[in-house]
Chains A and B, each alone.
Chain A
Amino acid sequence: MRKFLNAKISTASLDYLLLIPMAVLLLMGGLALYSTAHGAPFMGTSLMRQMVWLGVGLGLVWTLQWVDPRTYYLHAYRFYAALLALLLLTYFMPTVSGGHRWLFLGPMRMQPSELGKIIIVFAMAKYLTDYRKQLDEFLYALVPLGMAIIPAVLIIGQPDLGTALIIMMVAFSMMYWSGISLFYLFVIIAPLISIVTGFGFYAFSFWMAFLIVVLYLARIKIRWKTAVFLINAMFGTLAPFLWNSLQPYQQQRIMTVIDATADPHGAGYQVLQSRTAIGSGGLFGKGLGEGTQTQLRFLPVTDTDFIIAVIGEEFGFIAILLILIMFVWLLLRLIDRASTTQYRFASLSVVGFASIFLVHIFVNMGMSTGLMPVTGLPLPFLSYGGSFLLTCILMIGLTQHLLAGEPL
């Protein structure tokens, strides 16, 4: 199998089945942003800025046709190294609202973790392509995990737990896609389960018993079995200490998902209000600009994190359903394209992008309805936010670019 095909983007090679859902979602996002603007003059509103960013994104994608698609593969590690350097650099930058997320270059500022997601996908795809023969060995299979953990840790320290969790989720799905043995994946994920179950005695005992059975059946050397068991036991017992090392606001955000009413200060309040807004929308919604909850600002940050609440309140369940269908369409199309291409690097990259979309969608909409913690992840194509919109458009553009010339 070839690693890459050298083909140019042309109108003939455009995958309209990817572009249609994107266009519909962008349109709905535009309507919602128009509504949150409270009838203010168009200039300077978030809608206007969003449209500018959309233009920038589409322009950027347009320029991709002059880039050799092999570049992503050939220079993936260099991009990755640069990303790590930039992430480290943020720690020497002035703090903005308590975080080191931004890089300042004169009047400009950028958030390296946003574009970083794409770079990490490329780096992992390259590794999983180059070393696919060696992935049968556990230590080789462990390397891509490390490639994700290093930037994830740097991002957690910014502190931005949400993005770090996305990177880990994306890493797991790409490793799954690469064909790494399920047992290896189990061994890799096991410590996480140990940490979670470590808070409850019975859950942890049950999990340990299950682990022992799996290890007993596994065809690996006894010393590896012992090592895996010991590592998990250690993680499980250290979990409460690790928990205490989290920032209180991180703990709180995780705890909020358990009971939205438990946290009085911020997160729980937002979720309550968001649920009220969504629920009161009903089947057809209250109409454009008529949402009492979102218009009266019961709900903060409506144009970014809680855009779905605006849509749910003003356009109702019908619109939510349309959005969900568009997302399913987009994701299934990406997965389908990834599974039919002959090019392993492209396949892995596209699955990585699909995972990024999926996690954002589920976490954001889950957050607005109280299913997930309030992590501040925006919703692809709908939320206001320049660099994220750029990333999303870029991921679609890159998919087109990577798969150009493939039969549709």
Chain B
Amino acid sequence: MNQSGAPMLNSRRNFMAATVVVLMGILGVRFFQYQILNFSQFQAYAERNSIRSIRLTAPRGILLDRNGHYLVTNRPYYSLGVVPAEVRASLEQLSGIGKYLDIAPDTISARIMRITDVYEQFQPMVLYESLNFIQLTHIEEHRIEFPGIFFMDRTVRHYPSRARATHVIGYLRAISPDDMRAFKDRGYRPGDQIGAVGLERQLEPELRGTEGYRYHLVDNLLRDLGAIPDRPPKQPLPGSTISLSLDIDMQALGEQLLEGKRGTLLALDPETGELLAFVSAPDYVLEPFTGSIPESLWNQWRDNPDKVLLNRPINGLYPPGSSFKLLTAAVALSEGMAATSDTVTCTGFYFFGDRNFRCNVLAGHGVVNLEQAIAQSCNIYFYQLIQKVGFDPWQRIVREFGFGQQTGIELPLESGGLVPSRAYMDKKYADVGWTVGHMLNLVLGQGDILVTPLQIARMTAAISNRGKLVRPTLIHDARNRFAEAPQVDLPDEVWDHLQQAMYQVVNGFKGTGFRARIPGERIYGKTGTAENPHGPGHSWFTGYAVGSEGDRLVVAVLVEGGGLGSRIAAPMAKQIFEYYLKSYLPSRRNDFAQVP
């Protein structure tokens, strides 16, 4: 430029040239980074961007009762959806839809504006769940006023049966992060419904079905450009239809009997283990779970003092009460520690150490043999007997009948109960030591022993079928009859005697189970009243009826705080027996479920 400035100009030229090279170099590095280093990542993005797989959810499997009646079906469920990015511009107009939905227009705008993620904005979102028919028709009528809305339909559970069977069926909920991990690689996505409790949970893999896909090309606003010809759709496979062992009429009857009470009622086929009734009271209704359940309702159930959510047949832990006398009798007879003819004179009380152990009849039962002691539920007889039997044989027979372990029913989180072992007793009573006094409690089914009602039902079944310890099941299946089951080995005459004693409980002189008696029918049973530190004792009745074809039905009833088992539980069992023997046609009993 100027004569003296030539070197100066050179340096400026070099600086400018260097700037150019550096800036272009930065761009080059950036493109290299994207196109070479991160190529595969961006390629995956691009693929996702242009091809949308539209999921076709599979209808969930239907649940039937053993006779083919619908217990759980599906019904269509409509939600209102929008794509946030599409409706942002016309929010004001759109929020007018609030008047058909009883929600404030502000709430609608707020819901849409809350979605700020770039990609999420272009995903359909649910604006309103569970449209009823009136809302649906109103909005459909005025659809033109609300650009961008669409209806999303899916199916939800529907419960057409009058039997609720709440605790058997269970409910669905949106999949939790824990479940997402547990069911990894099974194709669940956040927001999917998954069985939460009950059979819905246990049978999830069968009920879910296999989802299908439709492959569409979409543009940058996710507008559908139609199916891709070279990727044919994959049709969804509905979940399996499953026949439950329940009989909805018997189930409904059981639910009705326990209405307003706390307790359980179980009816079980001792040959197959199939449960015809499985009642846990109080229960709750499943219908609200089809939408998103209101928190207040959920809290109300959770905090209910009657423990609505507790599945009592498998998770309720109770002292078994007098029905346990049957087990002591069984072991004493089979080990030859007692004969059926042995008698004890009951005076109504029994002094042991410094304690007075009373019988349940203040005046005493007088002279009783084993059969009479069971029938009349004499405590004094068993106080004597247990001292002959001892702790270890008692404990062994109790475990043999399946106590202290899960029955294996197909419901999640079953409790095993508690059968004290020697080690357990030594540890618990380490300070004062444990004595015959504790055993006098245990023999009556009190103290340190806890059982579930289902275990009691299974014990009864084992007595009725001479030792076959069936696995209780809620699934109706012809193979159940031939399923392998542990066998309790006792001599035939012991089984005879136990059955005879149970017959006398219901039908004999002074039998405590007389309220279960049905003239002319073969009803067997055992009552029990388990001590309850919180109030009146828990009322037990467990027994079985033998039908005209030699078929049998076990019924176990527990009413919490119901007082004497003979008074509350036995009449309930009687009604189930009556229904079974008189209204329940033999030809229907073991039919395979027919899908109507």
* A residues apposed to B, CB below 8 Å: 1, 132, 173, 176-177, 179, 261, 264, 268-269, 272-273, 275-283, 292-293, 296-300, 312, 316-317, 320-321, 324, 327-328, 331-332, 335-336, 338-339, 344, 347, 351, 354, 358, 361-362, 365-366, 369, 371
A293 touches B50 (CB 8 A): yes
9 closest A-B pairs by beta carbon, nearest first, are A279-B42, A280-B46, A298-B220, A339-B13, A279-B34, A317-B35, A292-B50, A280-B42, A331-B20
Contacts of B117 in A (CB 8 A): 264
B20 touches A292 (CB 8 A): no
Listed A/B pairs (23) with beta-carbon separation below 8 Å:
A1-B2, A173-B16, A179-B5, A264-B117, A276-B42, A279-B38, A282-B43, A293-B50, A296-B50, A312-B34, A324-B27, A324-B28, A324-B31, A327-B24, A339-B9, A339-B12, A344-B1, A354-B20, A361-B27, A365-B27, A369-B31, A369-B34, A371-B30
Bound-state Cα–Cα, A299 to B26, Å: 24
B46 touches A292 (CB 8 A): yes
Q: Is the interface of B mostly helix, strand, loop or mixed?
A: helix
A317 touches B46 (CB 8 A): no
Bound-state Cα–Cα, A307 to B574, Å: 85
Contacts A277-B46, A279-B45; A179 near B121 (Cβ below 8 A): no
Contacts A272-B118, A371-B26; A332 near B31 (Cβ below 8 A): no
For A179, give its contact among B1, B36, B50, B116 (CB under 8 Å).
Answer: B1
Say how far A332's CB is from chain B's closest CB, in angstroms: 6
Bound-state Cα–Cα, A282 to B117, Å: 27
Q: Which of B1, B15, B24, B36 has the most CB of A within 10 A?
A: B1
Bound-state Cα–Cα, A331 to B20, Å: 7
Contacts of B3 in A (CB 8 A): 1
Say how far A105's CB is from chain B's closest CB, in angstroms: 34
Q: Which of A279, A298, A299, A327 has the most CB of B within 10 A?
A: A279
Bound-state Cα–Cα, A327 to B34, Å: 20
Contacts of A298 in B (CB 8 A): 49-50, 219-220
- The closest CB in chain B to the CB of A313 belongs to B46
Bound-state Cα–Cα, A324 to B25, Å: 8
For A278, give its contact among B2, B42, B225 (CB under 8 Å).
Answer: B42
Bound-state Cα–Cα, A134 to B38, Å: 54
B39 touches A279 (CB 8 A): yes
Contacts of B32 in A (CB 8 A): 317
- The closest CB in chain B to the CB of A336 belongs to B13
Q: Give the size category of B's interface with A.
A: 35 or more
* B residues apposed to A, CB below 8 Å: 1-3, 5, 8-10, 12-13, 15-17, 19-21, 23-24, 26-28, 30-32, 34-36, 38-39, 41-43, 45-47, 49-50, 116-118, 121, 217-220, 225
B118 touches A269 (CB 8 A): yes
A358 touches B23 (CB 8 A): yes
Say how far B429's CB is from chain A's closest CB, in angstroms: 66
**In the complex, given contacts A179-B12, A312-B31, A371-B30, what are 4 additional A-B residue pairs having Cβ atoms less than 8 angstroms apart?**
A279-B38, A279-B45, A292-B49, A293-B46
Contacts of B217 in A (CB 8 A): 296
B35 touches A328 (CB 8 A): no
Bound-state Cα–Cα, A391 to B31, Å: 27
B41 touches A279 (CB 8 A): yes
Contacts of B118 in A (CB 8 A): 261, 264, 268-269, 272
Contacts A264-B116, A339-B9; A283 near B35 (Cβ below 8 A): yes
B220 touches A282 (CB 8 A): no
A328 touches B21 (CB 8 A): yes
Bound-state Cα–Cα, A341 to B20, Å: 20
B20 touches A280 (CB 8 A): no
A335 touches B50 (CB 8 A): no
Contacts of A280 in B (CB 8 A): 39, 42-43, 45-46
For B34, give its contact among A264, A275, A297, A332 (CB under 8 Å).
Answer: A275
B45 touches A276 (CB 8 A): yes
- The closest CB in chain B to the CB of A328 belongs to B24
A282 touches B20 (CB 8 A): no
A281 touches B35 (CB 8 A): yes
Contacts of A358 in B (CB 8 A): 19-20, 23
Q: Which of B26, B35, B218 has the most CB of A within 10 A?
A: B35
Contacts A1-B1, A264-B117, A327-B24; A275 near B42 (Cβ below 8 A): yes
Say how far B234's CB is from chain A's closest CB, in angstroms: 22
- The closest CB in chain B to the CB of A364 belongs to B27
Bound-state Cα–Cα, A371 to B32, Å: 14
A351 touches B41 (CB 8 A): no
Contacts of B43 in A (CB 8 A): 279-280, 282
B39 touches A351 (CB 8 A): no
